[in-house]
Structure 1
Amino acid sequence: MTITTATTSFVHVAPAGRPTVTAAYERHGTGEPLVLLHGIGHHRQAWDPVADALSAHREVIAVDLPGFGESPAQPPSIPYSLESAVEVFAAMFSELGVDRPHVVGNSLGGLIALHLARAGQVRSVTALSPAGFWTEPERLYAFTVLSTMRRGARLLPPTTVELLSRSAAGRAALTGSIYHRPGRRSPEAVVAETRAMREAPGFEATLSAGRKGVLFEGGIPEDIPVTIGWGTRDHVLVRRQGPRVKRVVPHARLVRLPGCGHVPMNDDPQLVARVILDGSR
């Protein structure tokens, strides 16, 4: 059953007879379906800088991962694992009436997108700075950055966040780890994504699942197009991880994103939208 409100819709699914998982999403545009998955601690509004360009050519479905954004936490009996994510999103695709959509993901969302491709649930996959191609020291470094952002978001009073967001320097202090050009982000967006990081009930469980050394090991059918984009200024998952993709996904297309950070949609919306549209042809 799908319930629609004025601004946000919610889809409810019970994959494989498990308890119900609920996810918030927005849906707009026309054309072939294109599902957008954000990274850990973020929310679907991360895609706002490219949404208009994408929805002019695709039916865009931007989703809050369970336990993030407006999506409530998963039931305790459903772990925050990649296997569960594939089951949940496959059920969501069916409930939303989209058969093997194009899927685009950033960071954690990119890793989920790749696993959905391996399961044959997508028409194409575009992954922007996907997790799962790290060495152990690189993973530890990335998790330290993310944990520091979470801790800062929870310690700073909302009034202080609002005050910092009013200046380019303040926005850099709040979001400079994920954006190369944080000053381009609006004060309202920075306040909202800091709140999303602070309030995400799925953050610790998701990070804990990743501490088990999650690596993507390939297995994507060659008839599913794969595009990997990596920002040259990514300070969370450093860009040297990008070329490793070819070892496990030989048919993947690697795209360099000059001047882009870990969440590249904000740093160069035109370039990122073009990469996504090209990857989902």
Structure 2
Amino acid sequence: MSATVSFQVPAPHGPGEVTVSYARVGRGEPLVLLHGIGHHRQAWDPVVDILATEREVIAVDLPGFGASPGLPEGLAYDLPTTNAVLGALFEALDLDRPHVAGNSLGGLLALELGREKRVRSVTALSPAGFWSPAERRYAFTVLLGMRGIARRLPPPVVTGLSRTAAGRTALTSTIYARPARRSPAAVVAETRALATATGFTAALRAGASVRFTDAVPGLPVTVAWGARDRLLVPRQGVRAKRLIPHARLVRLPGCGHVPMNDDPALVARVILDGSR
């Protein structure tokens, strides 16, 4: 069930209160799920029930996305601040070094949490930060285009498009290899989430100078990449493997940038194997 939690995070002009929306289900070792920029925690819905058979699953709306309010004034959307926010969230939810899986921006955050030893294991699905300058510019241009379309389309038009496979393809084929499989309600909800994400611009701006260059020693790391990822191309996974030599690099056949909906069984298995 959906819930919210509020906690204090240090800021330059005094502590700021952050509120995060999340859903918690299942039993077992805790597993935190982090979505990508402009998305929301429901991106994980196709795999949550499978994961919950072996893990206590906590799917999070990052601050400024989904149902979570934006960060208070004085807190930036950069990696150090977001890591501090997630660390404080773990404490507020009584999570002692949980496993973490993330997609896109969430994958980068998961790796950063691993580098700081805040988690037990990391599974990163098409993580950001392994791009060349040209690949980053391309990805940001696509994301800005998607955001612009989502904000300009009237809700009745989005609803109408979502009712057909062709319409769902038009709205979501950039992130899904099999967009027709996405339910109409999910397409409407994630289009609205992209349009209304208060943290989108600041998070994208903060990512302009980000490249992940560190190893993540001392804990299991899995990097998985959709073979049909059209946003962060699969060769970036090879770079990730070079930078994190002990990581398990997994190819996800038939999957796009957000693979959870394209092949839920495969993605869930990769996450569960990575968190053993």
Give your verdict on TM over 0.5: yes
Deviation track 1:40-62 (CA, whole Å, cap 9, x = no partner) reads: 00000000000100001000000
Flag structure 1 segments of 5+ consecutive residues without an equivalent. 1-6
Deviation of 1:225 after TM superposition, in Å, equals: 0.3
Partner of 2:32 in structure 1? Answer: 35
Counterpart code for 2:250:
V
* Match status 1:225 vs 2:215: no
Counterpart code for 1:106:
N
What pairs with 1:161-200 in structure 2 (closer than 5 Å)? 161-200=158-197
Deviation of 1:18 after TM superposition, in Å, equals: 2.4
* Match status 1:9 vs 2:3: yes
Structure 2 distance, partners of 1:68, 1:52, is 22
Structure 2 distance, partners of 1:238, 1:63, is 25
Flag structure 2 segments of 5+ consecutive residues without an equivalent. none
Query: TM-score, normalising length from structure 2?
Result: 0.98
Deviation track 1:226-261 (CA, whole Å, cap 9, x = no partner) reads: 000000000000001001012221111000000100
Counterpart code for 1:251:
H
Identity %: 65
Deviation of 1:13 after TM superposition, in Å, equals: 1.6
What pairs with 1:195-274 in structure 2 (closer than 5 Å)? 195-211=192-208, 213-221=209-217, 223-274=218-269
What is the number of equivalent residue pairs in this alignment?
273
Structure 2 distance, partners of 1:55, 1:141, is 36
Structure 2 distance, partners of 1:275, 1:67, is 28
Query: TM-score, normalising length from structure 1?
Result: 0.96
Deviation of 1:173 after TM superposition, in Å, equals: 0.4
Deviation of 1:210 after TM superposition, in Å, equals: 1.1
Structure 2 distance, partners of 1:115, 1:70, is 24
Q: Which aligned runs of 4 or more in structure 1 are off by greater than 4 angstroms?
A: none
Counterpart code for 1:54:
L
* Match status 1:77 vs 2:71: no
Counterpart code for 1:183:
A
Structure 2 distance, partners of 1:247, 1:85, is 25
